[in-house]
Structure 1
Amino acid sequence: MLSVSKLSIDYGSNRVVSELDLALDKSEILMLVGPTGCGKSTILQALAGLIPISEGQIDVGKWRATPTQTVPPEKRSVGMVFQDFALFPHLSVQQNICFRLKDHTLADHWIDLLGLQAFRDKKPATLSGGQKQRVALARTLAHQPDFVLLDEPLSNLDAALKDTLRWDIRNALKEAGVPAIWVTHDQEEALSVGDRVGVLRDGKIQQIDTPEKCFSMPSNRFVARFLGEASFIRGQHQHHQASTAIGIAPVVGIDDSAAEVDVLLRPDDVLLAQDANNNNGVVTWVRFEGGSRLCAIELPCKTTVTSRVSHEMLVRPGDKVHVSLSTSHPLAAFTIQSST
């Protein structure tokens, strides 16, 4: 188990991470997301012992690090997986994985599990990006770390390979039974792979929860916008329902919502229909996504909402359409005054 309490990190007089609290159970994967420069990689470096902490503590049971009780990186039993693979170019795949290992049994296990049998004697320069990342992961897990840190491990790979490899990495981490913190800029990756998602802003955690909860019930508007397409529509809140210009929906007040609220809408919450006799909006833009189209519709009240439709529906900017709410689950509602 990994426990972090009130962790703060300073660069000179600038506080870059403030009072971070988190705890990971055995084999739990936390996806850490946030804008560039918000402190994600800094947190990983502090957990690995590569930079000092200013306040708080890091505790894994075997050791505890504080500002006055430092634990050097080599004593922490931390596995790290980087986006640039960090392999020894002059060593073979097997030599990279077995580096500083006395017992090669675990190395053989991960070589087999990650499909590297045919590459044992190959040098890194002859491998693809995905194969290199598998080697880096096998090396990390063969050393039986107490926890694993992954710093955007898939950012250097093409989109098709990412989709497969993210699940191979997740399955390997679960097989190893170690907690992991995985930093990514890919919101889809974070929501699909993680047991929990942590959203960071300016060095402060905004929300840590299940992917479903962070997406559908974000703690504030920043989280709502960061984790996917988000639009807000004004509504009258009463008895856990909100009446809006495009229909009535069940809602949950996020911040002690008053009688008038802003209701969070995801594209799948908005139904778009091409009805020449019953129009209540005008399409302002359309993005083709392959299997679907994402459309923005301006309503008479000047609010813009988004809707995702089948790619077979031909919708163009300027089209007059009818939009309505299409949800059976409660939507998040925020007070009008909320600005975060």
Structure 2
Amino acid sequence: MKNLNLSLAADEVLMLVGPTGCGKTTILQALAGLVPISEGQIELDNWISTSGRAVPPEKRNVGMVFQDFALFPHLTVEQNVCFHLSNTKLADHWLQLLGLDAFRRAKPGRLSGGQKQRVALARTLAHEPAFVLLDEPLSNLDAALKDSLRWDIREALKSAGIPAIWVTHDQEEALSVGDRVGILNGGVLEQLDTPEKCFSEPTSRFVAGFLGEASFLPGDLHQDQVATVLGPAPGIPINGAAGGVDLLLRPDDLSLMPSTEGNGVIDWVRYEGCSRLYAVRIAGGTQLRVRTSHELQVRRGDRVQMAITTTHPLAAFPREA
């Protein structure tokens, strides 16, 4: 990791995202005391860990939730949650709050993946950690379960008033659950901000592409307006952009209508259930992606009319050579 500097608010949920090998899990391991740091420091209210004076994991009061649940298979749900607890009142509280009361006597082998992750979370929160580290806690669950459980975990953390750092590969999960999002690339924290800011005003093309489908349309920026072949659009200059720019367009920033005299040709189409995603080639060779209702059907090779429909300012990057 290089020049990593961040702090957590009292009950903040910070999401960390980035490609495989970018350093997400290494950060969690360093915070937990499982790997040493070469420089700098990690500080909590009652301890400071440095490269020369490391605080061991058992002294840090850090809770960890893993993707593989890490439950004791020979113990019941209640025994797992109460493990090493002298006062079980908090364990009872979290068993009830997380919907596990009916499974107190069950062994982990009888539970679903979502129930196992709730047990792991209940165990962590029952020990009253100073902060919680979550390492891709939903990656082993099916998509439908992920959608509900992510909110259950967030609400449990907020209810406990415990800050958390949550590592995920799921950009949608990061944007919807996090109070802030950190995007890592090659050991560097490229951006750390609110989900809205990271998505709408990314500080680099990497962040723009990593957080969602990104297309770039050449244009000219003058007085917060970008002139393009698809018409004008409001723009926000990124990294000092001026004059010739590349305008960041998401699939929802565009409209598409069939037209024999249109300004674009369909390269490909993907059916998504309630929507369709189209790749459209416009004059000059630029390919743009646009998402429409599933009811609109055009085929590869059809000519269509494209337009920029968004009213919010779009990120304008310095034009690439």
Structure 1 length-normalised TM: 0.93
**1:89 pairs with 2:85:** no
Match of 1:3 in 2: none
Aligned counterpart for 1:330 among listed residues 297, 300, 313: 313
CA offset at residue 289 of structure 1?
1.1
Residue 264 of structure 2: aligned partner:
281
**Distance in 1 separating the partners of 2:231 and 2:13:** 38
Q: Does 1:318 align with 2:301?
A: yes
1:41 maps to: 25
Instruction: Find the counterpart in structure 2 of residue 104 from structure 1.
Output: 88
- Partner residue in 2 for 1:10: none
SS at match of 2:207: helix
How far residue 293 of structure 1 moved from its aligned partner, in angstroms, is 0.6
Return the match for 1:32 from 16, 22, 37.
16
Letter in 2 for 1:100: H
- Structure 1's unaligned 5+ residue stretches are 1-16
User: How far did residue 337 of structure 1 move?
Assistant: 3.6
Shift of 1:18: 1.0
- 1:131 aligned onto 2:115: yes
Instruction: Note the 1:234-245 alignment, pairs <5 A.
Output: 234-245=218-229
Give the counterpart of 1:260 among 226, 240, 244: 244
Within 5 A, what are the aligned runs for 1:300-315?
300-315=283-298
TM-score with structure 2 setting the length = 0.99
Aligned partner letter, 2:125: L
User: 1:295 offset after TM fit, Å?
Assistant: 0.6
Q: CA deviation at 1:258?
A: 2.1
What does residue 141 of structure 2 align with? 157
Q: Which runs of 5+ in 2 are unaligned?
A: none
State how many pairs are aligned. Answer: 321
Question: Secondary structure, in 3 states, of the residue corresponding to 1:22?
Answer: coil
Aligned to 1:6: none
Q: Could you give the per-residue CA deviations for residues 42-94 of structure 1, whole angstroms, max 9, x where no partner exists?
A: 00000000000001111111111110121000000000000000000110000
Residues 180, 193 of structure 2: 8 Å contact kept: yes
Displaced runs of 4 or more, over 2 A: none
Offset at residue 275 of structure 1 (A): 2.6
Matching of residue 228 in structure 1 with residue 221 in structure 2 = no
Distance 2:116 2:103 in 1: 10
Q: Which amino acid aligns with 2:289?
A: T
For residues 277 and 251 of structure 2, the distance between their equivalents in structure 1, rounded to whole angstroms, comes to 8
Which residue of the partner structure matches residue 174 of structure 2? 190
* 1:300 positional shift: 1.3
Cα distance in structure 1, aligned partners of 2:48 and 2:204: 33
1:143 aligns with 2:127: yes
* Structure 2 residue aligned with 1:5: none
